[in-house]
Amino acid sequence: MTTDTPASAGWRPHPRYPDPLIESLDPRFDQYRIFSAAVERLHTGCRWSEGPVWFGDGRYLLWSDIPNNRMLKWEEETGAVSVYRHSTDFPNGNTRDRQGRLVTCEHGGRRVTRTEYDGSITVLMDNWQGRRLNSPNDVVVKSDGSVWFTDPYFGLLGNYEGNKAESETPAAVYRIDGETGEATLLADDVLGPNGLCFSPDESVLYLVESRGQPYRKILAYDVVDGGRAIANKRVLIDAGPGGTPDGMRCDVDGNLWCGWGMGSEELDGVMVFAPDGTPIGRIRLPERCANVCFGGAKRNRLFMAASQSLYAVYVNTQGVAGG
């Protein structure tokens, strides 16, 4: 089913310039703002939006609507929104591999899959040492073709975003080798592993610890052993009271653009951090933002999957390739 863009968007038809929803918290953010670029709502009517992924070759964006057990498609040319896929085992995070194929984390299927060019589904991983995964959450593909993903318990907790079940494996972070398909457990000491991404040179892995104590955190690791392992775990960002980082992506300058919210309406939207962990900017939204990606012809359009809606804004930077 296709919906008409103005009717489905219906938000802020006459924004001011510069858009007051885009805020500089540090002078370093000023260079990334575009004077006449405003935050746009592209679609609403979801139950929980997640996992946006851009397909530049088709000029469209896919994202997950987890409780509705579907993936949606937004077309840049027309603004039309349609159902890309029904009954996909409660999809969550998405990305593309270096051959352009869709890679998806599935809560219900408790697996990570790849959609082939002909539409068939390949299971990349659904168990660890013979025991079922929990509910793969977010995923990123490194330049060597390896697939890195998080596997917390969230999709097992009820029948809304997955299927209620007992955990068989620890919450963990995994790597799937791009050539052999061999899986490696990278870390199982993270409380609620969630969003993840690489620095521009892939020397650092950033990881959201969404059940960190006393507050959520964004961790950083050095990528070692020829890009096959991680070491030197450290806290880059302590989110503090009410801070709720979720999914995130990195721009070419190494800044982190993080979905944020839930703790307070004043925090709903996207937080932007410099590579040293300093908050430098934010984008206010009327809903909590779960995840983001960069897209558009120049990879300079930030797409934001936020609760019931999909938003976008042009920024004066580009997302790292492969995000």
Q: How confident is the model at residue 13 (pLDDT cuts 50, 70, 90)?
A: low
In a domain, 292, yes or no: yes
Q: How confident is the model at residue 321 (pLDDT cuts 50, 70, 90)?
A: confident
Q: What is the DSSP letter of 156?
A: G
CATH number at 115 reads 2.120.10.30
Q: How many domains are contained in the chain?
A: 1
Q: Is the pLDDT of residue 306 over 60?
A: yes
Write down the pLDDT at residue 263: 61
In a domain, 7, yes or no: no
Q: pTM, whole model, 2 decimals?
A: 0.95
Write down the pLDDT at residue 118: 96
Q: Is the pLDDT of residue 29 over 70?
A: yes
- Answer yes or no: is 76 a known binding residue: no
Q: Is the pLDDT of residue 5 over 60?
A: no
Active-site residue set: 246
Write down the pLDDT at residue 231: 98
In a domain, 321, yes or no: no
In a domain, 10, yes or no: no
- Answer yes or no: is 194 a known binding residue: yes
In a domain, 110, yes or no: yes
**What are the tens digits of pLDDT across the range 147-189?**
999 999 999 999 999 999 999 999 999 999 999 999 999 999 9
Pairing between β-strand 81-86 and β-strand 91-96 as defined by DSSP bridges: unpaired
In a domain, 173, yes or no: yes
In a domain, 319, yes or no: no
Pairing between β-strand 121-125 and β-strand 127-128 as defined by DSSP bridges: unpaired
- Answer yes or no: is 238 a known binding residue: no
Q: Is the pLDDT of residue 53 over 80?
A: yes
Write down the pLDDT at residue 3: 45
Distances (CA, A) of 296 to 37, 136, 249: 14, 27, 15
Distances (CA, A) of 91 to 49, 71, 104, 107, 295: 10, 7, 7, 6, 20
In a domain, 322, yes or no: no
Q: Which domain holds residue 252?
A: 18-314
